[in-house]
Structure 1
Amino acid sequence: MFTFTPNDLALYLDRLGLPEAPPATADGLATLQHAHLGAIPFENIDPFLGRVPDLSPEALTKKLLQDRRGGYCYEQNSLFGAALAACGFTARRALCRVRQRRPFPGARSHLAWLVMLDDGTRLADTGFGGPAPRAPLRLAAGEQRVANGSYRLTRDESLDEHVLERRGPDGWEPLYSFDGAHVTDEEVAAANHVAATWENSVFPGNLLIAGMDGATRLGLFNRALTEDGPDGLRKSVLASPDDLSALFARLGLNAGPDMTARIWARLAEAPVAGG
């Protein structure tokens, strides 16, 4: 389990733009999750370039805090979990089955957190590249509205799991499901390796970038860019490495010109958009 040193916590709070660690309360948890999602973009650049992300504390601190990169769920939520512990929260990990746009539940390929507070448990997540809630959700039945939409937690009795769903234009859409089983470091390491290398995983063959530019959420699948902001939804296609560099700049993602060139060369082998 990744734990922060005092210097790590200071670097983390600086990256998030928070003047101090929030209290271990429901409001403090919401503050921490919202700030993390706004400051550290989701990206799978390492798997896309053929590398398995290093989840060691030293590697995560360097990549996400010192080098100001982003990461995917195992990196993001490992860092977030260290922050939860440093701020005094009691939490446990959840390995989740992704269900979004699937006819049946997928493998346990997503990492999230269950945070125990005095008034109940919250689902907290800073690493889902799709349209997950930007605020923690109560582990309770019923619709819950947050800044980026309406969500609910239902039950899949056949698998004995909670299912996170989001209300869309065509009704409720499942995102992922989870149970209360204990998750070990070894299970996270194994899931990380599978997600980064398995031929049926989306991450080795496609570039996924997501994050916030002010009030606008940016989402990239290979070269297809979606911007969802106060003025509505806008879609476009990146046409050059300069477009990719501009996107990274908007997200505060420090990729550098050499890495950007390698990513763009790899994108020539990938489809423009998902099927």
Structure 2
Amino acid sequence: MTSDRDRLPDLDAYLARIGWTGERRPTAGVLRSVHRAHALGIPFENLDPVLGSAPSLALADLEAKLVRGGRGGYCYEHNTLLAAALTALGFRITLLCARVVVGAGPGDIRPRTHMLMLAEVPGEATPYLADVGFGSLGALLEPIPLVAGAELHDAPRRHRLVNTPHDGPLARWELQAYTADGAWESQYAFTLEPFEAPDYEVINWHIATNPRSPFSRRVYAQRTTPDTHISLTGRTLTVTTPDGTHEERELADGDEVLRVLAADFGIHLPPGTLLPEQEGEGEA
């Protein structure tokens, strides 16, 4: 659970960063609009691990980086920031951790490394799954009610939640995204066991510093706009439209990567930054 110490120091600056100007009350409408504004307003990126450091999850540092510093972050940064902002707006937040299943092969069991949360709206019996840190086309743009079989048309995307069988004592939930091929694709699986800030500190360190982690070996950046989804994996730049059409091109070198990060993603690194050579994809 979040507490007073988890509240965002400068809520005004955060809301200005995501371009949100609504009434500050803990309603379902506010939850949806703040979530979407964050998802569209702050890019996903893993440049700190690529450059050799684990990003700080302290709120003052997140505010300096994502809110004031012209940067983005990955799931622990995004969702720590959103959880603090929603707490400041009056929502009750429970932090969770998921096992990413999209892209996994048959029989693969990945560790639980993805941060997400439940947001409770005062007066409503059903909480919402909220997550602005899943850097992919399958990411939520708006929160989805925690109801088995619930579908969400968070245009241009579409999601649903299902319960799936497993051997544990807690119900296993799975977020699925509807693909351009007309199929439901599993994104990640989770239970409702609460996690705390120290849990993410450990996971964050592992993901950022483990030499086998894909996040420490190559650049990943994502930006969603109302019309397109832009992704950078290593030096491959991909632009995808809502109908699933996509175009790819290879960037020439690290200097072009830095230029594209600034121009297309709004991610600004200090002058003189040199990106290391991109390595192959690993397993976290």
Q: Which residue of 1 aligns with 2:175?
A: 164
| Structure 1 residue 196 corresponds to structure 2 residue 220 | no
Q: Tell me, yes or no, if structure 1 residue 123 matches structure 2 residue 129.
A: yes
103, 112, 115: which one aligns with 2:116: 112
Scaled by the length of structure 2, the TM-score of the pair is 0.87
- What's the secondary structure of 2:153's corresponding residue? strand
Q: Distance in 2 between matches of 1:200 and 1:173?
A: 26
Matches within 5 A, 1:211-230: 211-213=223-225, 215-229=227-241
What is the match of residue 260 of structure 2?
A: 246
Change (3 A) 1:116 1:184: same
C-alpha distance 106-22 of structure 1, shift in aligned 2 (>3 A): farther
CA contact (8 A) 1:22 1:31 kept: no
Deviations, residues 168-226 of structure 1 (Å, cap 9, x unaligned)? 22622211111111211211111111111223422011210001345221111111111
Q: 1:1-275 residue pairs with structure 2 within 5 A?
A: 2-5=6-9, 8-20=10-22, 22-103=24-105, 104-117=108-121, 118-130=124-136, 131-142=138-149, 143-158=151-166, 159=168, 160-168=171-179, 169=181, 171-213=183-225, 215-229=227-241, 232-240=245-253, 241-242=255-256, 244-259=258-273, 262-263=274-275, 266=276, 268-271=277-280
Give the Cα separation in 1 of the matches to 2:282 and 2:226: 26
| Residue type of the alignment partner of 1:42 | F
Displaced runs of 4 or more, over 6 A:
none
Given that 2:156 and 2:242 are in contact with CA atoms closer than 8 Å, whether structure 1 keeps it comes out as no
Which structure 1 segments of 5+ residues have no match? none
- 1:89–1:60 distance in 2 versus 1, CA, 3 Å: same
Q: 1:243 to 1:54 in 2, by over 3 A?
A: closer
Q: Distance in 2 between matches of 1:219 and 1:77?
A: 19
Quote the Cα distance in structure 2 between the aligned partners of 1:133 and 1:182.
20
Distance (Å, rounded) in 2 between the aligned partners of 1:179 and 1:28: 25
Q: TM-score, normalised by structure 1?
A: 0.89
| Amino acid in the other structure paired with 1:66 | R
Note the C-alpha offset of 1:242.
3.3
SS where residue 214 of structure 2 aligns?
A: coil
Instruction: Give the conservation status (yes or no) of the 8 Å contact 1:196–1:204.
Output: yes
Amino acid at match of 1:171: A
Q: Which amino acid in the other structure matches residue 272 of structure 2?
A: D
Deviation at 1:53, TM superposition (A): 0.7
Change in CA separation of 1:217 and 1:190 when aligned onto 2, cut-off 3 Å: same
Alignment gaps of 5+ in structure 2: none
* 1:206/1:270 contact within 8 Å kept: yes
Cα 1:51–1:82, aligned 2, differ >3 Å: closer, same or farther?
Answer: same
Task: Tell me the alpha carbon deviations over residues 101-139 of structure 1, each in whole angstroms, 9 at most, x when there is no partner.
Answer: 013341111101111221511111110112212111111
Partner deviation per Cα, 1:30-60 (whole Å, 9 max, x = no partner): 1011111111100000011110111112211
CA displacement at 1:17 relative to structure 2: 1.2
SS in 1 for 2:207: helix
Partner-residue secondary structure (3-state), 2:215: coil
What SS class does the counterpart of residue 54 from structure 1 fall into? coil
- Partners of 2:127 and 2:156 in 1: how far apart? 21
Q: Percent identity?
A: 32
How far apart, in 1, do the equivalents of 2:25 and 2:146 lie? 20
Q: How many residues align?
A: 267
Measured on the aligned residues, the alpha-carbon RMSD in Å equals 2.1
